[in-house]
Amino acid sequence: MTYTTPATLDLVSLTAECKVTTKGFGSEEDRDWTINTLTLTLAENGFSARLSLE
């Protein structure tokens, strides 16, 4: 699963291989995940985080 969201201090402190739990996405997506990649982007529309989860 890949998820892009506005970056927060909590997200900025994460690294690849960290464990995260998703909620509110649906029965198949709500579970424990491992971050495969975390990409932080600063663009005109703000600071965002893109998480690739497996």
Has residue 43 got a pLDDT over 90? yes
- Average pLDDT across the chain, whole number: 94
Has residue 26 got a pLDDT over 90? yes
When pLDDT is cut at 50, 70 and 90, the band that residue 12 belongs to is confident
Please spell the DSSP secondary structure of 31-45, one letter per residue: SEEEEEEEEEEEETT
CA distances from 7 to 10, 27, 46 (A): 8, 25, 8
